Structure 1
């Protein structure tokens, strides 16, 4: 276990390897799960504000659900979450021409039409953050067998999980946190 500030980090975050292989998983993390993506209240407010700018990418079923139930919902275990269609695809997901699920928020963000990329829980996957009263726990939780190709690709490219997720880790915790994590990882590799 690694401790940086008030974050306890599973050793798997630096020991395991991961690189998304969308050609194999087809964006399954946006479809497969117990519920929608966990979001913060701040993210829920942002999603509500940007909904009109991403609506054109969504399916008629997704639009109907959002307009009936709202841009987010509540789950007993995870709190605020994005809605899903019948427990499947996130309402903000859409299929591209290759049959890969993409995020409408991320699509519009890349075009410069909105300032919000996507929920941090999505951006950090397969890392999951659990918040407690005085600390956060960071764990590596790939979905099996869906993430098997990403684990295999990461291993062949020798890309540790934390390096693959550098941008979202900095987005959530800042550059200084990431540099401390990287220094810890480098010391760990040197000792191996």
Structure 2
């Protein structure tokens, strides 16, 4: 672990390689697991505001869940997340003609309908950030469904922190990322 400002970072984001391989995993991270995508407080308001524009991109099942539970949920532990369809798929998941899970929010963004790409936790994946009162922990979340992404990242020699560069800058800023790159070069 090392520290940059108010973040404690796992070396695993430098040591491990990763490039999403959607053709292999089919977007499993959006449909497997037991929780929705973690959300930041400000993102809950964004989801409420963009929902009418994202709704045309959604599947019927997603619309039903969102209209029953809301654009986000609060867990028993007080954590904010996207709602799930039958405890599995994120309510915002759609599928392409090859059965690959995609994000309806990102699809609306890509088509210029909204100007918000998706929740930062999704953008950062496989990096997970846990905020504490004095600092944020930045960790690599290794999950077997991402083995094809690890293999592709190794083949292309792309470390995790470079794969999620845009998202890390979005979360922590350009200066923070430049400091991270310096640490990685010295590592």
What TM-score comes out, normalization by structure 1 length? 0.95
How far, CA to CA, are the matches of 1:182 and 1:78 in structure 2? 34
Structure 1, 45-54 or 55-64: larger mean CA deviation: 55-64
The aligned counterpart of 1:25 is: 25
The aligned counterpart of 2:94 is: 94
What TM-score comes out, normalization by structure 2 length? 0.97
Question: Runs in 1 of length 4+ with deviation above 2 angstroms?
Answer: none
Pairing 1:49-68 to 2, within 5 Å after superposition: 49-68=49-68
The aligned counterpart of 1:178 is: 177
The aligned counterpart of 2:38 is: 38
Change over 3 Å in CA distance of 1:185–1:78 after alignment to 2: farther
CA distances 1:53-86 after superposition (whole Å, capped 9, x unpaired): 1111211121111112111111134601000001
The answer as to whether partners of 1:82 and 1:90 remain within 8 angstroms in 2 is yes
> Unpaired runs of 5+ in structure 2?
none
CA distances 1:8-27 after superposition (whole Å, capped 9, x unpaired): 00000111100000000000
Structure 1, 153-162 or 60-69: larger mean CA deviation: 60-69
The aligned counterpart of 1:159 is: 158
> Unpaired runs of 5+ in structure 1?
none
The answer as to whether partners of 1:19 and 1:159 remain within 8 angstroms in 2 is yes
RMSD of Structure 2 on Structure 1 (CA): 1.0
Pairing 1:120-135 to 2, within 5 Å after superposition: 120-135=120-135
Aligned residues: 187
The aligned counterpart of 2:149 is: 150
The answer as to whether partners of 1:19 and 1:154 remain within 8 angstroms in 2 is yes
Structure 1, 107-116 or 12-21: larger mean CA deviation: 107-116
